[in-house]
Amino acid sequence: MVAPIGTPPEGSIDEVLRESGPRIFRLARRLVGNDADAEDVRQEVLLQLVKKLDTFRGEAAFATWLYRVTVNAALAHLRKRAVRDEHRVSDPLEKLLDNHGRAHPVRRWSVTAEQQAISRETRQIIEHAIDEIPQGYREALVLSDIEGMPNAEIADLLGFSVSAVKNRLHRARLMLRNSLASHFEEQP
Amino acid sequence: MMTCKALLEQLDDLIADTLAPEARAHADEHLRACPPCLVLMQTYEITIRLTRQLSTHDAEPRASATP
């Protein structure tokens, strides 16, 4: 349980804002992971605070409200960021095709599908490449190919349709393939 | 003949062998005529198999985990 971050709404509104601002920022920073987004969340929560300040009765109600509003604002910000990032994700299929929709020439890999066990170095290369896959796609790949979860279960867990999960999984695998190609392609 | 894009969109079904017979025949025809798509399918399958091995590695006991 995280301790409430609020203060009683005593004194002028300027004093309340001055005191609450850093606390909101600290909590938001932990949740969103960077200063710029945490500042956006702080501004948003302070705006709500100004609108509702005169409706509070007592310290506990204010502290609880401020904590909840900050958490909700941070989570909403994370969701918006995920959508924004997703729009920036380029289709990995496009990298493989020329302007006429034909596949570019590609080289075979020095590793095979029949290889029994992967080396520590290969594992590190794959894990690093997975880290680079955008969040919404990485989740599908990890749950399916590492955790062995069926697509229907992944769909339930992430709140997508099964076909959306299949699409994300396919894109994630292509992203990973494209990323691994530079490590595993045979030399000319 | 099937396009490269259409072929690549069906990689999961191709590897899982879940395509309908007619679609499978079209895909095989494309793969015989298109070396890049054949290599892409092979490397896509390698990618999946390599990734699946990560869970095995995670399950292995770590020598330094306990004193």
Query: What pLDDT, on a 0 to 100 scale, did the predictor assign at position B65?
Result: 36
C-alpha distances in Å from residue A30, one per residue of A36, A48, A63, A78, B7: 12, 20, 18, 12, 44
Question: Distance, in angstroms, between B26 CA and closest chain A CA?
Answer: 16
The Cα angle at residue A155 between residues A153 and A157, in degrees rounded to 5: 70
Tell me what the mean pLDDT of segment B24-30 comes to. Answer: 96
Specify whether A83 is located in the same domain as A38: yes
pLDDT at A11: 65
Instruction: Tell me if A173 and B37 make a contact (CB, 8 A cut-off).
Output: no
| Chain B: residue whose CA lies nearest to A174 | B44
Do A99 and A82 lie in one domain? The reply is no
One-letter amino acid of A188: P
Position B66 scores a pLDDT of: 36
| Total domains present in chain A | 2
Do A140 and A171 fall into the same domain? yes
Q: Using the beta-carbon criterion (under 8 Å), do A126 and B54 form an inter-chain contact? A: yes
A65, A133: one domain: no
Q: What is the mean pLDDT of residues A21-38?
A: 82
pLDDT band (50, 70, 90) for residue B47: very high
Distance of residue A102 Cα from the nearest chain B Cα, in angstroms: 5
Residue where a domain stops, chosen among A88, A120, A140? A88
The tokens for A80 are 């918006």
Q: Which of A72, A100, A154 is nearest to B3 (CA)?
A: A100
Residue A118 included in any domain: yes
CATH of the domain at A28: 1.10.1740.10
**More confident of the two residues A32 and A26:** A26
pLDDT at position B18, please?
94
Confidence (pLDDT) at A57: 61
Could you tell me which residues of chain B have a Cβ less than 8 Å from any Cβ in chain A?
3-5, 8-9, 11-12, 34-37, 39-40, 42-55, 57-58
Instruction: Note whether B46 contacts A111, CB cutoff 8 Å.
Output: yes
Structural domain includes residue A1: no
Domain annotation covers residue A3: no
In this prediction the ipTM stands at: 0.85
- What does the H/E/C string look like for A77-88? HHHHHHHHHHHH
A130: closest CA among B20, A122, A151? A122
Kindly report, residue by residue over A54-91, the tens digit of the pLDDT: 776 666 677 778 888 888 888 788 778 777 666 677 88
Query: Which CATH number characterizes residue A153's domain?
Result: 1.10.10.10
Domain that holds residue A44: 13-88
Q: Is A91 touching B (CB cutoff 8 A)?
A: no
The answer to whether residues A98 and A84 belong to one domain is no
End residue of a domain, out of A41, A72, A88: A88
Same-domain check for residues A123 and A170: yes
Note whether residue A166 is domain-resident.
yes
Question: b vs e for A88-114, b when ≥16 Cβ sit within 10 Å of the residue's Cβ?
Answer: eeeebbeebbeeeeebeebeebebeee
What pLDDT score does B7 carry? 96
Per-residue pLDDT at B20: 95
pLDDT > 50? residue A146: yes
A-chain CB neighbours of B4 within 8 Å are 96-97, 101-103
For residues A83 and A97, state if they share a domain: no
- Is residue A34 domain-resident? yes
Looking at the fold, whether A83 and A113 belong to one and the same domain comes out as no
Residue A6 lies in a domain: no
Out of A36, A64, A88, a domain closes at: A88
Residue partners of A160: CB distance under 8 A and separation at least 6: A154, A168
* pLDDT of amino acid A115: 67
